[in-house]
């Protein structure tokens, strides 16, 4: 079956200055964290179309967060903004002084979302966590999560009441679907890898043919005797998919996926500074590391839109054959590069 490019409407909302445009610029436009200080406040809505792999386009609506704009989204532009939303990313600035007001706005936004796009996924990012003392970060986050869950439930019950209202046509039907919402929360900062964890989760569910990718990564992993394989999108360096062997599962570093994204992305910046080529250009094609009799790994340009990282047991012969096999496996993943016929599925 022919797969068209899948388009997803992604709303990015939250108070002005909370860090929405900063995150977007770092993940998709190769900004460095410190470059974001130059960003001005977003006026109304900044629309961008981000091509992710060959077959997914994110229509990113970066919604300026100043109060007047927010009111406008909720009133005049309500249907326009909140219809057909695939994902809403709501950003809270952890240092914000006026938490009550932020939460009130949040409730209004969630109500509008649930009203117009009941199926949308919701991601709440508690942002600028770097400004909180490292020792208290976890507590601060947990407290905020509890409050936001309560507020989300509140927003949903508002919509439910509206729908039960006698004058509302929806009330006629019996057994209204439970208005629960698919929601995930993350603590983030542009100054560390937490940003990559959150955004990898956001894009993860949007990638078409994910099942196929996972199956094929697993076959490749077994074939070359790897302990771990990560597949990165080439511009953002977000992890698209991963496979880990039983032994690899014993790795105590649970944050290693976002850590690798962060490391490789900043390595790309380093290279671009050295070569003088643009940051979004391809910077390196092959990176090998053999740590004696401990382990070996390589990070290689894979398909047009991806890089692959392979971590494996040591051994010269094993390493060379793994590299050949990875090169040979490229055609299996060709579908990542464009809206072409998906491989005979699973």
Partner 1 sequence: VPDPATTPQIKGKPRLLLMGQRRSGKSSISSVVFHKLPPSETLFLESTARIQKDSLNSFMDIQVWDFPGQIDIFDNPNFTFDMDAIFGEIGALIWVIDAQDDYLEAVARLNSTILHLQRGYPHINIEVFIHKVDGLSDDYKLDIQRDVTIRIQDELSDQGVENAPVNFHLTSIYNHSIFEAFSKVIQKLIPRLGQLEAMLTNLCRTCRFEKAYLFDVNTKIYIATDSTPEDMASYEICSDYVDVIIDFTEVYGSWPRSPQWRARLEQPPWNQSLEDQVACEWAESGLVLSDAQRPIMLREVDRFLALVAIMKEGSYDKMPQINMNVDVVVKGLTEFFDITKPKEGGRVQQQKILQPGKGR
Ligand X SMILES: Nc1nc2c(ncn2[C@@H]2O[C@H](COP(=O)(O)OP(=O)(O)OP(=O)(O)O)[C@@H](O)[C@H]2O)c(=O)[nH]1
Cβ nearer to ligand X, comparing 22 with 244: 22
Instruction: Name the E strands within 16-115.
Output: 45-52, 56-63, 87-93
DSSP 195: H
19 binds, among ligand X, partner 1, Mg ion, none (CB under 5 to 8 A by kind): ligand X
311 in contact with partner 1 (CB under 8 A):
yes
Tokens of 323: 């590299």
Tell me whether residue 191 or residue 289 sits nearer to ligand X (CB atom). 191
Q: Following CA atoms 297, 222, 256, 300 in sequence, which dihedral angle do they give, to the nearest 10 degrees?
A: 40
Contacts to ligand X from residues 181-200, by CB under 6 A: 189-191
Please report, for residues 22, 45, 176, 309, 317, the alpha-carbon distance to residue 42 in angstroms, rounded to integers and kept in the order given.
Answer: 11, 7, 38, 36, 54
Least separation in angstroms between CB 39 and partner 1: 16
Measured between alpha carbons, how far is 222 from 245 in angstroms, rounded to an integer?
A: 8
The CB-of-32 to ligand X minimum distance in angstroms stands at 11
Size of the site for Mg ion (CB under 5 A): 2
**Should residue 125 be labelled a site residue for ligand X when binding is judged by CB under 6 A?**
no
User: Is the CB of 42 or the CB of 261 nearer to Mg ion?
Assistant: 42
Distance CA 314, CA 23 (A): 38
Binder of partner 1 out of 6, 295, 323, 339 (CB under 8 A):
295
Residue 342 contacts residue 54 (beta carbons within 8 Å): no
CA distance 294 to 315: 9
Computed on alpha carbons and rounded to an integer, the radius of gyration of the chain in Å comes to: 22
Rule CB under 8 A: choose which of 287, 321, 325, 338 binds partner 1. 287
Token reading at 20? 């929405």
116 is a site residue for partner 1 (CB under 8 A)? no
Considering the rule CB under 5 A, would residue 25 count as an interface residue with Mg ion?
no
Query: Does the footprint of Mg ion cover residue 235 (CB under 5 A)?
Result: no
Cα separation, 329 vs 16, in Å, equals: 46
187 binds partner 1 (CB under 8 A): no
Residues that bind Mg ion (CB under 5 A): 21, 42
Residues that bind ligand X (CB under 6 A): 14, 16-22, 36-37, 39, 41-42, 64-66, 127-128, 130-131, 189-191
Residues that bind partner 1 (CB under 8 A): 34, 130, 133-134, 191-192, 227-228, 247, 250-253, 256, 259-260, 263, 266-267, 270-271, 273-277, 281-295, 297, 311, 313-318
């Amino acid at each position: 079956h022919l797969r068209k490019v899948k388009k997803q409407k992604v709303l990015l909302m939250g108070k002005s200055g909370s860090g929405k445009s900063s995150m977007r610029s770092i993940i998709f436009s190769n900004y460095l964290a410190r470059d974001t200080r130059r960003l001005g406040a977003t006026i109304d809505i900044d629309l961008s179309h981000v091509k992710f792999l060959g077959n997914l386009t994110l229509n990113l609506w970066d919604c300026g967060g100043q109060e007047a704009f927010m009111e406008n989204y909720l009133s005049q532009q309500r249907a326009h903004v909140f219809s057909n939303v695939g994902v809403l990313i709501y950003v809270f600035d952890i240092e914000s002084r006026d938490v009550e007001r932020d939460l009130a706005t949040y409730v209004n936004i969630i109500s509008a979302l649930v009203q117009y796009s009941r199926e949308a996924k919701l991601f709440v990012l508690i942002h600028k966590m770097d400004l909180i003392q490292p020792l208290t970060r976890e507590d601060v986050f947990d407290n905020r999560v509890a409050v936001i869950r309560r507020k989300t439930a509140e927003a949903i019950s508002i919509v439910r009441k509206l729908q039960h209202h006698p004058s509302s046509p929806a009330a006629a039907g019996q057994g209204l679907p439970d208005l629960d919402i698919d929601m995930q929360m993350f603590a983030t900062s542009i100054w560390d890898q937490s940003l990559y964890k959150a955004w990898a989760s956001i894009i993860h569910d949007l990638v078409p043919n994910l099942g196929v990718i996972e199956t094929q990564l697993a076959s490749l992993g077994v074939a070359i005797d790897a302990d771990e394989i990560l597949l990165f999108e080439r511009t953002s360096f977000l992890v698209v998919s991963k496979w880990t062997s039983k032994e690899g599962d014993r790795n105590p570093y649970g944050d290693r996926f976002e850590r690798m994204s962060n490391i490789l992305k900043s390595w790309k910046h380093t290279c671009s500074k050295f070569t003088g080529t643009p940051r979004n250009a391809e910077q390196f094609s092959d990176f090998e590391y053999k740590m004696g009799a401990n382990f070996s790994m390589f990070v290689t340009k894979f398909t047009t839109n991806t890089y692959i990282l392979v971590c494996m047991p040591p051994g010269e012969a094993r390493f060379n054959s793994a590299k050949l096999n990875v090169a040979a496996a490229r055609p299996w993943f060709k579908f990542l590069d464009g809206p072409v016929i998906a491989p005979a599925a699973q």
